[in-house]
Every structure is written in C-alpha cells, then in structure tokens.
Amino acid sequence: MANVTVIGAQWGDEGKGKLVDWLSNRADVVVRFQGGHNAGHTLVVGEQVYKLSLLPSGVVQGKLSVIGNGVVVDPWHLLEEIAKIGAQGIVITPDLLVVADNACLILPLHKDLDQAREAAATQKIGTTGRGIGPAYEDKVGRRAIRVADLADREALEAKIDRLLAHHGPLRRGLGLPEADAAELLAALEAVAPKVLPYARPAWLLLDREVKAGRRVLFEGAQGALLDVDHGTYPFVTSSNTVAGQAAAGSGLGPKSAGYVLGIVKAYTTRVGEGPFPTELNDAVGQRLGEVGREFGTVTGRARRCGWFDAVLVRQSVALNGISGIALTKLDVLDGFETLKICTGYRLGEATIDHLPAGLKAQGQLVPIYEEMEGWSGSTQGARSWRELPASAVKYVRRIEELIGAPVALLGTSPQREDMIVVRDPFQD
C-alpha cells in the first residue's frame, strides 16, 4: 500500500500520536485532514516529550507535513506551536510545513462563541473551548476567512464586515461585547506575513507527491465516535473524523486513503459529556484513569474510563473501512484479576449489536459483558508475542474476533519502539 490513513476508532485519545510518529518514519508526507488544535498528540522520543495540537506529527521526524483544507487553523496558535516545538530543537520552515491556502481560520470570535455557549448551555457538550465548532459553522455558512484571504487586504476587510454582521446578533444574545472590525483586521494583518510563507495549494503539492510515488500518511484527529455524522451526536466534534474525510480534507481522491489503521485503546475513554455505555464510575474506572494517566493533552481534564466496548469498535471498523488496528495501552490492564468486554447491548427488552442513532436510546443502553481472565505478569515494553502472558494474548485475540479486524500493531508503552509489529501498514 502506498498510503496509510490513521484514525481514532473510539472517542479519541487512543494513542494516535505514538503510532503516527512511528509510521512517519516510513512515510514521505504527513497530512492532517480535519479538526484543529482541539487534538492533542503526545509523542515520546527518548527523554523528549512533544505535545502537538495542530502541527502534523511528521514534523518531529522532519517529514514534509501538510495541514490540509479540512483543518480549521488558528493562526496565532499555529505560530505559538511552531515556536514551542522550535524551542525543543525542531525548526519548522516552509520547506517542512505547508498549510492549505483554502483552509478556514479560527478567529478569537470563534473561541469567544464556543466558550460563551458552553457557559450558557444547560446541556453542555464539554468542548475544548478552542473555537472549533463555530469556525466550522462559518465555513459551511460560506462566510469564513480562509488562509489565502490573508494576502488580500481589501477582500479581508469586506469579509470581516460580512462575518461580523453574522456574529453581532449572536454575541449580543450571549452578552458578549461587540467584536471590533478594525481590531480583527489589525490582528490578521499582523499575523499574515508570518503565516503566508507556509500557505500553498496543498492539493496540488499532494497530487505531485503521489504521482512521484511518495508515501502519504494521513493523520486523523479525535475519533470515529466524535464524528459529526456517525458519532454520539450532538456530543461530538464538528468535523468528519472518519477515514473517508482523509480524501476530502486534503484534496486527494477517495482511492488515496490506502491502508486504514484504526487506533484502538485496550479499554475505553472519553473526555467531555455524552453517552458512554461501558463507563465505570467506581474504583476500577479510577484505576484505569490513574494507571493509564488519562488526562487530556489539550485541556488537562480527567478522562472518563470504562471497559472495552467491542460493539462500538466493530461499528468503527465498518464506518472507516478499517484494514487493521493498532491496539494501544494493553499494559494498563496488567494486574487486573478479571477483565470485561462489552459484546452487545440491552435496550429495554431488546438486544442490539450496534449504537443506535438516537441520543435517548444511547443513554439507555445496558452493556452485555463477557468476562475474561486477567494476567498477573507484565506486558509493559513487550516487543514480541512471546513476552506476553497467555491471558493477554487471549484478550487480544478475542478483541480481533469480536471487532472483525486484525491487530497490525500492539503498543505496550508510550515509548516509540515498545510495540509488537504484526504487519507494517506501509508494506502490503
């Protein structure tokens, strides 16, 4: 396979950062195709820990990295992240980083709106507060300011007026002060010369790269259950997070996705509000959170934890066309006497094998569990099947069976090389 698409198969935070970092080594180009700086990808390389939110993880390996048109870009955050990673010794230049000139911007007024809405809502989404949803609303509403607009002052002025005509009533309704057009224009003019050197038609560059036989790694953010169509709506993010978006969000055609690697955590977590059938509000949940260090990279919020839900991952395998999975954080389950896997749900009198679309039904699901024997030995740092306790192998095999997809990679610690490689997704 020439290309690989990496997506989160649960609610995000499956450990994509490490996998993308490992795969970047084998790729020529790394592309982000949706979301924005709501993502949090942690890469541990030796003693160094890199925390990326907007930059494609390829930058750490010095690979050509592209922020595609499907991403919403906060230009101030972009520059901050470039400076932060620069201080860690990774110098970002326009030769290394390309930002699609048709990507839409996240502006301070998007962040204001995101936060004010969350504060006012009785049914909070639990967003990251970074303006992602409002920026996508403006994109779909055809009034967004795009990267290329930064190069044209006159057009920019008119676009700001149009945008503020929409935001004025919204801000007033939420008790926010009026947005100042001159202030926004000045801020964008100040940032433009720093951002524009990275701006290019990313689709054209990618088309050329692919035609030249280069290998592309598409780096998904969040997870399939946060997809705006397929997730636990409305408790989702505002982009399509499924693998199909890799094409639309980068400007390459649908055949470009290649091998679809679903990143799957050996248990389940979610940040923010919304249905979570296998959530554990007890000592077991707390233990998963503590051992797994389940705190958000972006917001620092404690993640909710629960048993592995095979129903959700099976659904994700179908929605994304997953070729194989990378199972992560198996070591967090070390030492549990017994483990549970959810294999179906009870909904009233009925038994169902998928996540229903309705929020009410999603909230009423009662998991049907299968119990498995745990293991007393350690899986941490294992790099071959032989190093795993027999019960751990059984657990992994049962997951494969239930979700209908094979394990390609098995992660056993945050370190880049602590992994069992069953097959390299780039080598078909």
Catalytic residues, by residue number, are: 13, 41
Question: Mask of contacts with ligand IMP, 171-210, x by CB under 6 A?
Answer: ----------------------------------------
**Residue of 130, 265, 304, 329 interacting with ligand IMP (CB under 6 A):** 130
Q: Please, what is the minimum distance in Å from the beta carbon of residue 382 to ligand IMP? A: 26
* Residue range at the interface with ligand IMP (CB under 6 A); choices 60-68, 122-130, 195-203, 351-359: 122-130
Among the residues of 97-195, which ranges form H helices? 108-120, 132-140, 153-173, 181-195
Q: Residue 67 phi/psi, 5° resolution?
A: -100, 110
CA distance linking residue 194 with residue 404, whole number of Å = 47
Q: Please, what is the minimum distance in Å from the beta carbon of residue 210 to ligand IMP? A: 27
Contacts of 6 (CB under 8 A, 6+ apart): 16, 19, 20, 23, 217, 218, 219, 220, 261, 263, 326
Tokens of 215: 């290998």
**Residue of 127, 240, 245, 316 interacting with ligand IMP (CB under 6 A):** 127
355 touches ligand IMP (CB under 6 A): no
Q: Please, what is the minimum distance in Å from the beta carbon of residue 22 to ligand IMP? A: 19
CA distance linking residue 244 with residue 221, whole number of Å = 13
Q: Please answer whether residues 271 and 35 qualify as being in contact, where contact means their C-beta atoms are separated by less than 8 angstroms.
A: no
* Residue range at the interface with ligand IMP (CB under 6 A); choices 38-46, 279-287, 314-322, 351-359: 38-46
Sign of CA dihedral 287, 292, 295, 296: negative
Contacts of 338 (CB under 8 A, 6+ apart): 371, 372, 373, 374
Q: How many CA atoms lie within 13 A of 242 on its CB side?
A: 17
Q: Which residue is nearest to ligand IMP (CB)?
A: 272
149 touches ligand IMP (CB under 6 A): no
Q: In this complex, which beta carbon is closest to ligand IMP, that of residue 209 or of residue 294?
A: 294
Contacts of 401 (CB under 8 A, 6+ apart): none
**Residue of 5, 38, 42, 241 interacting with ligand IMP (CB under 6 A):** 38
Q: Please answer whether residues 129 and 140 qualify as being in contact, where contact means their C-beta atoms are separated by less than 8 angstroms.
A: no
128 touches ligand IMP (CB under 6 A): yes
**Residue of 6, 59, 104, 125 interacting with ligand IMP (CB under 6 A):** 125
Q: How many other C-beta atoms lie within 10 A of the C-beta of residue 424?
A: 15
237 touches ligand IMP (CB under 6 A): yes
The CA angle 263-266-267, to the nearest 5 degrees, is 110
**Residue of 17, 40, 56, 220 interacting with ligand IMP (CB under 6 A):** 40
Q: Please answer whether residues 339 and 333 qualify as being in contact, where contact means their C-beta atoms are separated by less than 8 angstroms.
A: yes
Q: Please, what is the minimum distance in Å from the beta carbon of residue 264 to ligand IMP? A: 14
Q: Please, what is the minimum distance in Å from the beta carbon of residue 423 to ligand IMP? A: 27
Determine the distance from the C-alpha atom of residue 272 to the mean position of all C-alpha atoms in its chain, rounded to a whole number: 14
Q: Please, what is the minimum distance in Å from the beta carbon of residue 134 to ligand IMP? A: 9
Q: Please, what is the minimum distance in Å from the beta carbon of residue 403 to ligand IMP? A: 20
Q: In this complex, which beta carbon is closest to ligand IMP, that of residue 133 or of residue 262?
A: 133
**Residue of 160, 226, 382, 420 interacting with ligand IMP (CB under 6 A):** 226
* 2: nearest Cα among 253, 221, 240: 253
39 touches ligand IMP (CB under 6 A): yes
268 touches ligand IMP (CB under 6 A): no
221 touches ligand IMP (CB under 6 A): yes
**Residue of 133, 251, 285, 289 interacting with ligand IMP (CB under 6 A):** 133
3-state secondary structure of 307: coil
Chain positions contacting ligand IMP, by CB under 6 A: 12-13, 38-40, 125-128, 130, 132-133, 221-222, 226, 235, 237-238, 271-272
